[in-house]
């Protein structure tokens, strides 16, 4: 089984720029996370965009949808910023016959204390086990995009 990882930016890929004194989306971190976790399944990594999800447009979401739709593989993990993950998940629901799991992080993957590794692991397992459809793997839960929201105050995703 092969899993294709689609990267789009978001907090999971943020790095600190000392000269600018701020965080910006950097190179995708998924390859390093998978190597450090000694993941042995076949993977492919495709970087579609590198944006904070608050800066994503409908055209960006269409690029993600088209990338998944056009790929021959049927199992995907999409790393994404948490602020608009639900919107992208809903857009991906038009893709049929593929298992697509979105995940992200509240803290960058480069941080020593981060939820990124746990969320990536959950999404990777979910992509292997779930039937075709679109899911969100965050905070130890698997949610459907059309029934989920980010609770900003609690720093977690929940069912609506």
CATH of residue 122's domain is 3.40.50.1170
Q: The dihedral of CA 91, 93, 99, 104: what is its sign? A: positive
- φ/ψ of 3, rounded to 5, equals -120, 130
Total domains in the fold of the chain: 1
Q: Identify the pLDDT of residue 29.
A: 85
Q: Going residue by residue through the chain (160 aa), what tens digit of pLDDT does each one get?
A: 999 999 998 888 877 555 655 667 777 889 999 999 999 999 999 999 999 899 999 999 999 999 999 999 999 999 999 999 999 999 999 999 999 999 999 877 767 678 899 999 999 999 999 999 999 999 999 999 999 999 999 999 999 9
Q: Identify the pLDDT of residue 16.
A: 59
| pLDDT tens per residue, range 102-128 | 999 987 776 767 889 999 999 999 999
Range of the domain at 22: 2-159
Q: Which residue, 104, 110, 129, is CA-closest to 6?
A: 104
> What's the CA gap between 143 and 92, in Å, rounded?
14
Q: Identify the pLDDT of residue 14.
A: 74
Q: Identify the pLDDT of residue 18.
A: 57
Angle between helices 85-92 and 58-70 (to 10 degrees): 50
Whole-structure pTM value? 0.92
Residues forming beta bridges with residue 157, ordered by sequence position: 150
- Dig out the tokens for 36 from the structure: 């450090």
Q: Identify the pLDDT of residue 58.
A: 96
Q: Identify the pLDDT of residue 19.
A: 61
Contact 91, 120 (CB under 8 A): no
Q: The dihedral of CA 48, 53, 56, 60: what is its sign? A: positive
């Amino acid at each position: 089984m092969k899993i294709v990882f689609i990267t789009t930016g978001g907090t999971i890929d943020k790095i600190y720029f000392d000269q600018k004194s701020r965080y910006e989306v950097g190179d995708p971190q998924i390859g390093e996370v998978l190597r450090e976790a000694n993941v042995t399944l076949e993977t492919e990594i495709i970087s579609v965009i590198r944006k904070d999800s608050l800066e994503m447009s409908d055209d960006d979401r269409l690029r993600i949808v088209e990338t998944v739709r056009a790929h021959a593989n049927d199992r995907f993990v999409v790393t994404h910023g948490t602020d608009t993950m639900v919107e992208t998940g809903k857009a991906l629901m038009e893709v049929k016959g593929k298992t697509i799991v979105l995940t992200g992080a509240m803290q960058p993957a480069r941080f020593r204390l981060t939820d990124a590794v746990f969320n990536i692991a959950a999404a990777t397992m979910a992509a292997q086990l779930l039937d075709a459809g679109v899911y969100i793997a965050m905070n130890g839960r698997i949610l459907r995009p059309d029934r989920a929201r980010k609770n900003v105050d609690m720093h977690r995703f929940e069912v609506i």
